[in-house]
Structure 1
């Protein structure tokens, strides 16, 4: 279910299936029919469990500071389908979406693809129509069989690997790593974050087979904390960049920043872009992302921690930013996530939880979440809008977390579209 995508499908009579169908045959055929737009793009490709969106945003911001025109394709949406496809930080407009749908309709793509495959084709067409210099592409699920995995990128990035989407990707770290490693391409470097040893072994094996160089966090490059901000060092090329001051909070964002800087240099080298250290510093400082420890009202934070790995990072950020403060959680999560483990983790920093229902057919009911919680103070909350406004007025630190779909709903009700 992609909000507002259906209106374009209906308007242009382009049908697609609303289910997940891993594999590349259908999208490869469809892209060939529309002129293979993906082959004319300079691409950065990301796959991984967490950290893709933040790493993407850091890269985009640095590229923007160097005068490059950047397109990005992300999932899931924050508000609706338009924000999944952006150029120059601007969501695709209704007129631009109409343009690509007309192209797809005339090409006869109706009935050939799933929703996400159709959206992927739309993204590639829009990037070509918009003449972007670089397209940053985030895999929707996995990597190997994901519809985005039709590109030959300048560089691939895998920020993290943890158990997720086990119905499709397998129930071991090794099997999930196998899918993520699928984005590694022949003779193209791959940048990796702090991965579990069993995942790292899979990545290195695949990279060896593809004759791809592996650039690993805390091996070839790393981040140090100094009194004047953070410092990036890359031992491979002797680079050292000081005074890095980021808005995106949490110790994990330092890692994502390091991956992004490393990727930026790969792009700059490939495209012969003169590098400005000031441009890198400015890009890091300006990078922001919706739904990543974002304060939408005074004392009200939204963060899309929806699995155990991202919950751990949220906990670390809370401890760093609000040491000793009382925290209240408002939670809504999709039922196919490891809800109990996420709740048990968040209970390390709070004993006050409010559970809410939100508009998604895959959402776990507030009542069922309540039953999984071990919190001392817990209840189902029917009117979270009024509650959050009162919490803000009363200066009560409150974190809304779980599904990005919930965050979209909260944002729309409290502050409207961005």
Structure 2
């Protein structure tokens, strides 16, 4: 379910399937009907389990500080369909999206796509019309058979690999890596984080088959120094005094990937690189819902799988040593709920479980029953009332981006 997508589908009489159907045939046929807007876009393509959004956001801010027009396609949405397609960092406007749906209606796309495929076509049309200098595209799921994998990227980036979507991608790291490595293209650079050994072997073989230069964090480029004053190091290139706005050690590698990707992109298109523009971009990059600070004692983070929960817990240990941590949790039932809860319970001194307004949601009572915490409750109260009752604790809302999306505006503007 993509909020507000149905409004445009109904307004322009375009039906699409809400099911997930990996494969490229339908998207290729749809793009043929609209004139292949994906061709010749200056793309950086991102796949992976966690870190895609943060890495993309840092690349975006670096590019904007080089006076480049940026466009991005991310998923899932934080608020509604508009924020999945961004032009110069701003959600696409209703008027612009309506114009694109008009094109798709006139191109006879009715009934030919899934929801995500339809939105992917809309994104490509938006980017073609906008004439972006750099297009940042995040895979929806997997990579090889994801509908975004019809582009010829200048650079591909994979920050991490962990078990996820096992019903579609397989239940081993090697199987999942096989899907993610599908975004590697002939002769185009692929940049990865420090992947597990089984996954890295898959990427090395795929890169070899595609004759694609492979750059690995910790091997071909790295970051040293203390947080707030880090140094990026690569052969023939070094940037000092990097002050990340995104906290947590996991963001160190994401930052390194973002800088490396931009350097490769700039080299390909003969763009002059300015170290101060990179420094400024890194210091101002913020991503909604990724350890986002709402107030001095309130944070939101979309930790929806064990790998992202581990990242959240590690960040909590870094930032809030010795403090009480209360988690407000809502999750979807098709996630590894037990795995996420066991990790959060390492630092959580208390839990409040809430319902998520989504057809795939797990009832709060079920979350309560799965929790091993000694301090836990189910609440139907307004979010502000829940938070006010925890005034001596750090409160972190987590578990589902849909939960964050439903409450974020109220928390920021209330």
Q: Quickly name the TM-score band, shorter chain normalised.
A: over 0.9
Show the 5 A alignment for 1:22-41.
22-41=22-41
Provide the residue aligned with 1:150 in structure 2: 150
Q: CA deviation at 1:395?
A: 5.0
Task: Tell me which of 397, 402, 407 is aligned to 1:400.
Answer: 397
Q: CA deviation at 1:382?
A: 1.0
Q: CA deviation at 1:29?
A: 1.1
Q: How many angstroms apart in 1 are the aligned matches of 2:192 and 2:50?
A: 12
Whether the aligned pair in 2 keeps the contact of 1:331 and 1:355 (CA below 8 Å) is yes
Provide the residue aligned with 1:297 in structure 2: 295
Q: CA deviation at 1:119?
A: 0.1
Provide the residue aligned with 1:76 in structure 2: 76
Q: How many angstroms apart in 1 are the aligned matches of 2:355 and 2:393?
A: 22
Q: CA deviation at 1:341?
A: 1.2
Provide the residue aligned with 1:379 in structure 2: 377
Q: CA deviation at 1:43?
A: 0.1
Provide the residue aligned with 1:364 in structure 2: 362
- C-alpha change, 1:50 and 1:383, in structure 2 (3 Å) is same
Question: What's the TM-score, normalizing by structure 1?
Answer: 0.97
Q: How many angstroms apart in 1 are the aligned matches of 2:289 and 2:199?
A: 27
Runs of 4+, deviation exceeding 4 Å? none
Provide the residue aligned with 1:65 in structure 2: 65
Q: How many angstroms apart in 1 are the aligned matches of 2:138 and 2:130?
A: 19
Unmatched 5+ residue regions in structure 1?
Answer: none
Provide the residue aligned with 1:254 in structure 2: 252
Q: How many angstroms apart in 1 are the aligned matches of 2:246 and 2:55?
A: 11
Q: CA deviation at 1:391?
A: 4.8
Match of 1:415, SS state, is helix
- C-alpha change, 1:391 and 1:189, in structure 2 (3 Å) is farther
Whether the aligned pair in 1 keeps the contact of 2:227 and 2:244 (CA below 8 Å) is no
- Asked whether 1:413 is paired with 2:401, we answer no
CA RMSD of aligned residues (A): 1.3
Show the 5 A alignment for 1:210-359.
210-226=210-226, 229-235=229-235, 238-359=236-357
Match of 1:41, SS state, is coil
Question: What's the TM-score, normalizing by structure 2?
Answer: 0.98
- C-alpha change, 1:84 and 1:227, in structure 2 (3 Å) is closer
Match of 2:136, SS state, is strand
Whether the aligned pair in 2 keeps the contact of 1:40 and 1:128 (CA below 8 Å) is no
Q: How many angstroms apart in 2 are the aligned matches of 1:103 and 1:416?
A: 36
Q: How many angstroms apart in 2 are the aligned matches of 1:401 and 1:149?
A: 30
Q: CA deviation at 1:141?
A: 0.2
- C-alpha change, 1:216 and 1:227, in structure 2 (3 Å) is closer
Equivalent pairs counted in the alignment come to 414
The superposition leaves residues 342-368 of structure 1 with CA deviations (integer Å, 9 ceiling, x where unpaired) of: 111111112311100010011111111
Q: CA deviation at 1:298?
A: 3.4
Deviates more, 1:383-392 or 1:279-288: 383-392
Whether the aligned pair in 2 keeps the contact of 1:355 and 1:379 (CA below 8 Å) is yes
